[in-house]
Structure 1
Amino acid sequence: MKLRSLLYVPANAERFVAKAHERGADAVILDLEDAVEEGSKDAARAALAAAVPHVGQGGAKVYVRVNTGPRMGADARAALAAGAHGIMLPKAETAASIDALLAELGAADDGTADILAIIEDAAGVLDARQVAAHPRVVALALGAEDFATSTGGQPIPEVLRLPKLMVHYAAKAEGKLSLGLLRSVADFNDAEGLAAAAAEAARFGFDGASCIHPKVVSVLNTAFSPSEAALTRARRIVEAAEKAAAQGTGAFMLDGEFVDLPVLNRAKAVLAKAGATA
């Protein structure tokens, strides 16, 4: 599954919903939580019936970020009834948080909906692998702004780097997707900085990231897709390895670079990722 770019859209913002399917994002997140003020939350939930199929008409996966607390169950049931691919669950601090969501869904859950877990406090960071291990969770991310607030910090790169990497490694340890940049995505006008941050996250092995403005979508799609140079290099490594294996050689030199099994496996992963994002 490819989730290079996930575009947040307030579910009750008709003008944003109207064009969300044209933005090229791998996923659209219809938000019922932070982007919707309290007095509009019921209307935003009711809007899902039309908004979910509309934003997904271009092929993007559609997720709904639900509220936690008393609204969670009704939000999640409305999301699935509208045809959403899954639920983005904020404040997913333990595996019990996931179980609580599933219990609220009850008979509305047929077992196929994805859950994207957002960790937003220190306890969640320390228990992130437990969350990642839940069989219904497909991806993890750190909610930078809420995490900084909950820990009394500032959402600046040096504060966010360690907790984001901890959540990233927890996801990878359980074979799940890891989403995010090693900074906040709130400053969407910093195009150069976002591009550099996305490229950095891709080097660390993150699979994609969310954004709150459509102009960031192409930045994320580019950063989290293998470049032509990387694909060419990967193909050459795989081809050379096949020839070496036919001669009974497991490790060899290619263009001055030592190639052994880990290097070969990375090359195969690049090609597999290109297939997933084609």
Structure 2
Amino acid sequence: MIRSLLYVPAHSERFLAKAHQRGADAIILDLEDSVPPEHKSAARDGLAASVVLARSGGAKVFVRINPGSDDDARAACRARADGLLLPKVQRPETLVDLATLLEPVENECARPAMQFVALLESPGAVLNAAAIARAPRLLGLALGGEDLALTLGAQPTPAVLHLPKLLVHYAAKAQGLLSFGLLRSVADYADLDAIKMAVQEAQEHGFDGATCVHPGVVPHLNAGFLPSSEQLDWATRVLAKADHQQGSFSLDGRMVDAPIVARARSIASRARQDDS
């Protein structure tokens, strides 16, 4: 269960020092947009220490590489990051080629295969999401709202991002992948009331978690992407009655049949994952 993925600039000692204390399920060590060009090489060279520090609080660690950078990918692999966050993915062949590149490095390091989270950030990528979702090693998909809006010549408002985010979400779910995102931009992190509403909306749509650029958002993602107490109470009562019923039945004035029982089981399972 990955509810929160916190971006941390991989060149910043100040942010790296506290990243593991923020409570995020995953930390994204960023080599791309948040790192000035003159600091990118040093940030990559420091990944071995950065990954160990970021993981010390129990979080998974991903590295967002620069688009097409084999050096970034190899360095993240040797640093034993759990996976790569791949920006500006346009086609599934990119992930196939990257898996081929990493396999000898993984064998050399005697480490498990890295997982990928693909960021789709252009109209073409959104329209190609179903094909991208079938690529190897994918853990999940996400939409880069700011970059998409830029390529569209649009503003990254919730209204603009709603449809493309759902299209990428559907592509992920069709392949059984995790789907990360809120139906709004992650750049506006100060309006916590709006973020809480967006988390509730995303959870209702079935998103699994979301990225964030500020640690103050992490607790809201962690809480919001868990079943609420009301949802868990409903699921418990559905499952209790299902144990003594054949076929469909009524609960709280609503029909309950097989898909609804399955949803109740999913909610209960997600709550148990949090307890463990």
**So what's the TM-score if we normalise by structure 1?**
0.95
Tell me the equivalent position of 1:228.
229
Match of 2:21 in 1: 22
Which residue in 2 is equivalent to 1:191? 192
In 1, the alpha carbon distance for the partners of 2:268 and 2:116 equals: 27
1:258 Cα offset (Å): 1.1
Q: In the TM superposition, what whole-angstrom CA distance separates every residue of 1:11-32 from its partner, at most 9, and x where no partner exists?
A: 0110100000000000000000
Q: Which residue of 2 aligns with 1:214?
A: 215
Deviation (angstroms), 1:106: 4.4
CA distance in 1, matches of 2:99, 2:259: 39
The 8 Å contact of residues 140 and 177 in structure 2, kept in 1 or not, is answered as yes
Provide the residue aligned with 1:145 in structure 2: 146
| Matched letter for residue 130 of structure 1 | A
Which of 99, 103, 117 in structure 2 is aligned with 1:102? 99
Q: State the alpha-carbon separation in 2 of the partners of residues 106 and 224 from structure 1.
A: 34
SS, match of residue 139 in structure 2 = strand
Aligned residue runs from structure 1 range 37-116, under 5 A:
37-69=36-68, 72-110=69-107, 112-116=113-117
SS of 1:109's partner is helix
Q: Secondary structure at the match of 2:190?
A: coil
Cα RMSD (Å) of the superposition? 1.1
CA distance in 1, matches of 2:256, 2:96: 45
Q: CA deviation at 1:240?
A: 0.3
> For residues 222-263 of structure 1, what are the alpha-carbon distances to aligned partners after superposition, in whole Å with 9 as ceiling and x for unaligned?
11001122112101101101101xxxx201111222111111
Q: In the alignment, is the contact (CA less than 8 A) between 2:8 and 2:29 conserved in 1?
A: yes
Equivalent position of 2:255 in the other structure = 258
* Bigger mean CA offset, 111-120 vs 140-149: 111-120
Q: Residues of 2 paired with 1:239 and 1:17: CA distance?
A: 46
Amino acid at match of 2:162: R
Deviation at 1:104, TM superposition (A): 3.2
Residue equivalent to 2:11: 12
For 1:168, the equivalent position in structure 2 comes to 169
Provide the identity percentage.
49
Q: Contact 1:88–1:116 at 8 Å: present in 2 too?
A: yes
SS in 1 for 2:183: coil
Match of 1:274 in 2: 271
Could you report, residue by residue, the CA deviation over 1:67-118 in whole angstroms, capped at 9, with x for unpaired residues? 013xx11111111111100111011111011123223324113562110000
Q: Deviation per CA, 1:185-209: give whole Å up to 9, x if none.
A: 1111000000100110000000000
Q: Deviations over 1:146-191 (max 9, x none)?
A: 1111121111111101100000000000000000000001111000
For 1:31, the aligned partner's letter is D
Contact 1:9 1:17 in 2 (8 A): yes
Distance in 1 of aligned mates of 2:267 and 2:45? 42
Matched to 1:229, the amino acid is E
**8 Å Cα contact 2:142-2:180 kept in structure 1:** yes
Q: Which runs of 5+ in 2 are unaligned?
A: none
Give 1:241's aligned residue. Answer: 242
Contact 2:146 2:185 in 1 (8 A): yes
Q: Distance in 2 between matches of 1:173 and 1:57?
A: 34
Q: Secondary structure at the match of 1:58?
A: coil
- Which residue identity does 2:84 align to in structure 1? I
Which residue of 2 is the match for residue 123 of structure 1? 124
Q: Secondary structure at the match of 2:244?
A: helix
Question: Using the alignment, how far apart are the partners of 2:261 and 2:63 within structure 1?
Answer: 38
- Say which is worse superposed, 81-90 or 126-135, in terms of deviation: 126-135
Number of positions where the alignment pairs a residue of Structure 1 with one of Structure 2: 271
> Letter of the aligned partner of 2:202 in structure 1?
A
SS of equivalent to 2:46: helix
